[in-house]
Amino acid sequence: MSQSPDTRSLLSASSQLNLMEVDSIDDKEFDIPQVDTPPTLESILSELEDEEEPFVLEDTCVLNTDNMDAHSCDTSSLASSDSGDPAHLKRKRRTVDLNATVHGSVLRHSLLKGISAQIVSAADKVDAGLPTAITVSGVIAVGTSHGLALVFDTNQALRLCLGTKTTGAEFGAVSALSINHDCSRLLCGFAKGQITMWDLANGKLLRTITDAHPPGTAILHVKFTDDPTLAVCNDSGGSVFELAFRRVMGMRSCDSRCLFSGSKGEVCCIEPLHAPPDFRDHPITHYSLLAMASLTKILVIGLKPTLKVWMTFPYSKSDPSSVPQLAWQFVPVQKMVNPILAFCKGDTVHFLLVKKEETGTIHVIKQRQLHLSCDIISLSWINSRTLVLVDSHEKLQVVDRPSQEVLETLDLEQVQLVYNSRHFKSLATGGNVSQALALVGEKACYQSVSSYAGQIVYLGTKSAHIMTLRNWRERIDCWLKQEHFVEALSLAWSFHEGTAKAVVGLFGDPLKRKGVVSDKMVEILFQFTEYALKKCPEQGKIQVMEQHFQDVVPVLVEYCLLLQRADLLFNQLYAQLVENMVAKGVFLESLESYIVADRLGHLTPPIMRDLLAHYHDNGMMDSLERCIVHLDVTSLDIQQVVQVCWENQLYDAMIYVFNSGMNDYITPMEKLFAVIVPTLKEGRSLTVYSCVCINAYMCVCSCCLAGRAYPIGDIPEDLVVQVKNQVFEFLIRLHSADSSSEEEVFPFIHTLLHFDTREFLNVLAMTFEDFKNDKQALEYQQRIVDILLKVMVDNPDFTPSQVGGLFTFLARQLAKPDNTLFVNRKLFDQVLEFLCCPDDDSRHTERQQVLLELLQVGGVVQFNEERLLTLAEKAKFYQICEFLYEKKHLYDKIIDCYLQDPLRKWEIFSYIHNLLSMPGYSPEEKQTVKNKARQHMQELITLDPSKSADLVLFHFVDEVQQIISELQDDQILFKFLSCLLEPREGPHSESLLPLERDLNELLLDLLCRFAPHQLLSFLHTSQHYRLEEAIQITEKYHCNDARAYLLQKKGDVQGAFAVLLEVTTKHSDPVYGRGKLAEIQGLILGMLDTFNYEQTLLETTTSLLNHDLHWSLAHLRAAVTRGLHPRQDYCNICLQHYKRRQDSAEEIIVFSCGHLYHFQCLQQKNCGWGSAAEVQQRWRCYKCSSSHGGRSGISTEPKRSRSASLAQSKEDKSHCLSFSVHCESICRLFSN
């Protein structure tokens, strides 16, 4: 390469440049480090010219970050500007967002110091220009506004400077860069439309391409494909071209082919699919897929083996200034790895899964969308699950795609992001671009963002920044540096459980992952403990210290238990906390919730001693008891615990220790009995502790007999039978161990009965439920029943109510179908006498119910039925009487039972109706019931006139007149007749009553007397009355309104008018009855003038409405008769071309809105409406109805639908326009 004057001046300036002495750089802003033996542009250019030591690229794909300035998420704040557009140089600084998310710092933001220093020095010292574009692969290339390309290696050392200021002046600024997959070639696109190819091994210029696209347009994008001989470019005219590189006989050439013309819609973003090294052999790579984003839609085409469009996808409505974005990523989906295309324009990111079918075709599947509340200007994958977005406010967001959760938000204000606005406006070639493309270019920053191998580089006007995902340890350490231990532990636990997002650096094997993370969490726990003790306030109120440790100790306990490291908690951590008495107390108190929740069942002896002492000294006996009953007894000092429990009345805990620790279920009951007896003997009122003691006594008996442990858990299965037998033997002891001569027999049962008879019997009842197949238990059951009878019968110590409770209990037991108890027959008589005692009104319903249950299960055989009936009648046990009468088929007497029972008398109507209507009863039985009901009819009518009327209509219609004549009270007669004659629905609605006219006239008479306000309503609805008689009745009671109505109905209008005139005359002022015509002439003439005006107004309005209807008809007819032009040539449901099968006749449907569908696709979405049997099926546009919320359900017809459908068959091409929608709308207008 020969040196031009510009190059020599550049070299002379660079020979004196030292990166440590750049005065124009703000060191505080960039924190530029000292560079050992920095390379100069002169040395680099001389090396390129001599070609003695060709540069060899290091075999690495990840940047060396040793020379990076890493910023935490709390300090990185970045802003932007456009290197060429002054509008972006005046952006306001934004405040730093210090709110950390629950995921912590996910991204590591680092300043590329070496590259940033070289960019600034090249611009200031050698006039290389401001940076305009960047691309990253195995090396980093930065383009400048003066046409140079600076190439850096992975150590950020400047290796090549490509181009000269002369070529820069000719070609303009570098507007696009691309490196091929093996880092051997660099493509540079320029603002004036040229493209150059450079050899990155030696810096030689291989090609200068000037005719790849129409002149006068800037290169917006240039991209290598995976094929090193194939690239694509996009210019500011919106066109896309394929560049095929050839080398024949040592001559390099480039063939250009237009893939997409800007005249069909301007493309402003292109992205070829690049396969990572591990997926070079993926079947999809054979097609060389290219995604293109225009201002209106997305296209996916295949460049190989032949050019083919595989998919088009239109955007949803968005801001015209929104920037389209494309990004490919290979993602594992259902055990298969396939590429996913992410694209957006505005605030919604769409995902398309692209896979190859067995038939060889490419299938595109829509995935779930991602909705954000921002305008996206940059979209990049950082791994297969995580995206990094930048919005129009230069806020960077890290998003987890599966959960659609924003993991972190950073501010890019200080980056001063480079925008590509000048190139999109094509200012270097005269600005000959469309307004739409220029508007999009305001926020375009395609060439300022480049991602490679999990790293994303952002180009600023004076610096370059790199974003990488932090590994899991770094994310935890970020919290620890800020002394946020709780958040660090929470994040670490999410790593432990595999629920964290954007995880880097952890094992895939769950066991290895949990092992590594748990070790880290143990370290954090120690650090947190030391921090808590060190930061504890030394002075101040005790509450402040308690609150300090309340924020720490429960966290320590929680995570130790989650990690199943109780040894760590009780040994190392407790040993540190015990030095502080406040921390020790908080620790011991925080254990309660975990013990009660059964998450901590075993305590070491030192911890248990300290816990007992602390809870006892602080009066926390209830908490202590709750803890003891949930702890493993092997960790308890039984003697100490029993002593503490007995001294503090912790009976539940004491019982638990005896039962679980020593398998002793009797001693606790003996001890409790010893506490209860003195209080009961002396007749003193029971204290709270006595009640607690007795309740515990009862609960122990109940649980032991049921096989359950008290207060929690179950008795071991091998001990259940033994414990039951021990408890039974204990209860049926004749005397206690320390009995005196005055002690009653069976003291344990006697004491329980005396304290609360009902509760003890309930306990026995629940216990007996389990005694079905246990022969030994049944024997104990019979023995206890005998003891109960012996203790309570004829014992004056028990009140009648208590004895009654015993008999009720026995009756319930005897009423069970599987009863095995034997009770003396005389006791049955005693039960009967007690239950049917007429002098005792207490618990009347319960006693009746008990006896009824006894009878229903066959107990009636134990009694003399006549005596039973006599006692039941005396006791007013009407249900018992009904039971006995029904057994004897004396159904008529059951009516008396219902009438006399105040709780069930309203059920008599249903009983009579059912018996008279249902089969299964003889005619004689029905007749006796009918006669009985007839006998009590007046009583029934008084009870409920409405139900009585229904009963009469169903079963006594022939006796209506006689029933009415027997009613003496006119008020009751009126209510009964009103119900009887009211209109009905159902099978009896048309039934005619005998003498119905007489009944209606009688009701009319009663209405005049009792409800004159209902007269007119009755006369309107009823037709079963004679006019003359009705007129006489209304005249008799002076019901003038009803009389006038009847006279008018008769045809005597004059008479009706006379009646009303007579009424008005009585109530009118005589003064208004005199006057002359002249006095009201003005009023009459005014009324006539008003009539004429309103008549003219009506005629004019009718004419206007007719004219409007005609205009609407003409416009609707014009709308539905014009031809339809589809917007696209693909189906808007399946997104395939409307000619997807050339060999078959397939009908398509086109709507007036421009949308096109296959007939089968529209039919599958249930978009038809109207009758399916119609000759011309009517359809609804699926896309339009979905956008208006009309997708769910099929309405009878669309409201004001303007979408006409055109069905076309490929064979006959016949047009069939759905005109019916509009015609029906017009017909409805005319009908209205």
* Choice among 336-350, 668-682, 1216-1230 with the minimum mean pLDDT: 1216-1230
Based on the fold, state whether residues 85 and 125 are members of the same structural domain: yes
pLDDT at residue 64, rounded to an integer = 47
More confident of the two residues 1142 and 296: 296
- Answer yes or no: is pLDDT of 683 > 60: no
pLDDT at 816: 77
For residue 1092, being part of any structural domain is answered with no
Please indicate, yes or no, whether residues 178 and 327 belong to a single structural domain of this protein: yes
Tell whether 1016 and 1134 lie within a shared domain.
Answer: no
Angle between helices 605-617 and 581-596 (to 10 degrees): 100
Q: Please give the average per-residue pLDDT across 1049-1056, as a whole number.
A: 89
In a shared domain, residues 382 and 246: yes
Check pLDDT > 50 for residue 1231. no
How far from chain centre, in Å, is Cα 1006?
64
Position 117 pLDDT exceeds 90: yes
Which has more confidence, 869 or 448?
Answer: 448
pLDDT for the residue 1077: 75
What residue numbers bound the domain in which 581 lies? 473-600
In a domain, 631, yes or no: no
pLDDT of residue 1126: 84
Query: Is the pLDDT reported for residue 543 higher than 60?
Result: yes
Percent of all residues in the chain with a pLDDT value above 90, rounded to a whole number: 41
Q: Does some domain include residue 616?
A: no
Average pLDDT over residues 495-499: 90
In Å, the largest CA–CA distance within the chain is: 138
Asked if pLDDT for residue 61 goes beyond 50, the answer is no
CB 130 within 8 A of CB 143: no
pLDDT at 442: 93
Name residues whose C-beta falls within 8 Å of residue 979's C-beta, 6 or more positions apart in sequence: 945, 946, 948, 949, 950
Residue 282: closest CA among 336, 327, 239 = 336
Task: Output the pLDDT for position 1206.
Answer: 43
Supply the pTM of this predicted model: 0.64
Q: What's the pLDDT score for residue 37?
A: 46
Poorest-pLDDT segment among 9-13, 804-808, 1126-1130? 9-13
The residue type found at 609 is R
Is 961 part of a structural domain of the chain?
A: no
Q: Is residue 966 part of a domain?
A: no
Percentage of the chain lying above the pLDDT 70 cut: 82
451-465, 528-542, 983-997: least confidently modelled range? 983-997
Compare 78 and 823 and report the one with higher pLDDT.
823
* Residue 313 scores a pLDDT above 60: yes
Q: Is 621 among the domain residues? A: no
Last residue of a domain, one of 584, 600, 616: 600
In CATH, what number is assigned to the domain containing residue 392? 2.130.10.10
461 and 486 in one domain? no
754 with 814, same domain? no
Domain boundary among 759, 794, 829: 794
Q: Please tell me whether residues 499 and 451 are part of one structural domain.
A: no
Q: Are residues 351 and 452 in the same domain?
A: yes
What pLDDT, in 10s, does the model give residues 940-972? 999 999 999 999 988 988 888 888 888 888 898
Q: How far apart are CA 788 and CA 978, in angstroms?
A: 61
The pLDDT value given to residue 817:
76
How many Cβ atoms from other residues are within 10 Å of residue 253's Cβ? Answer: 11
* 1230, pLDDT greater than 70: no
For the purposes of burial, counting CB atoms within 10 Å of the CB of 3, is it exposed (0-12), middle (13-18) or buried (19 or more)? middle
Instruction: Retrieve residue 258's tokens.
Output: 């237009």
Mean pLDDT in residue range 1065-1069: 77
Residue 617 forms part of a structural domain: no
Q: Is residue 1112 part of a domain?
A: no
> Which residue in 534, 532, 578 sits closest to 556, CA to CA?
532
The H or E element spanning position 363 is: strand 362-366
Q: Which whole number is the average pLDDT over 574-593?
A: 92
Joined tokens for residue 684: 């003193």
Residue 770 vs residue 346, higher pLDDT: 346
Residue predicted with more confidence, 598 or 1144: 598
Cis peptide before 711 (omega within 30 of 0): yes
pLDDT band of residue 814 (cuts 50, 70, 90) is confident
**How high does pLDDT run on average in the chain?**
81
Please indicate, yes or no, whether residues 160 and 62 belong to a single structural domain of this protein: yes
The tally of domains found in the chain comes to 6
pLDDT at 684 > cutoff 80: no
| Range scoring the smallest mean pLDDT among 73-77, 186-190, 300-304 | 73-77
At 880-889, the pLDDT tens digits run: 899 889 888 9
Do residue 371 and residue 304 come from a single domain? yes
- Given a contact cutoff of 8 angstroms between Cβ atoms, the answer to whether 810 and 830 are in contact is no
pLDDT at 148: 95
What are 456's strand-pairing partners? 451, 467
Task: Say which residues have a Cβ less than 8 Å from residue 1149's Cβ, sequence separation at least 6.
Answer: 1156, 1157, 1158, 1159, 1162, 1179, 1205, 1206, 1207, 1208
Query: In the predicted model, what is the mean pLDDT of residues 31-40?
Result: 44
For 891-942, the DSSP string reads HHHHHHHHHH-TTTGGGHHHHHHHHHHSSSS-HHHHHHHHHHHHHTHHHHHH
> Which residues make Cβ contacts (< 8 Å) with residue 1074, sequence separation at least 6?
none
Lowest mean pLDDT among 219-228, 329-338, 976-985, 1018-1027: 976-985
789 and 808, same structural domain?
A: no
Amino acid at 153: D
Instruction: Select from 600, 616, 638 the last residue of a domain.
Output: 600
pLDDT classification of 719: cutoffs 50, 70, 90: confident
d(CA 824, CA 1196): 78
Same-domain pairing of 408 and 286 = yes
Query: In angstroms, rounded to a whole number, what is the distance separating the alpha carbons of residues 884 and 1140?
Result: 84
3-state helix, strand, coil in the chain (%, to 5): 50, 20, 35
Name the more confident of 842 and 1000: 1000
Question: pLDDT by residue (tens digit) across 397-429?
Answer: 999 999 999 999 999 999 999 999 999 999 998
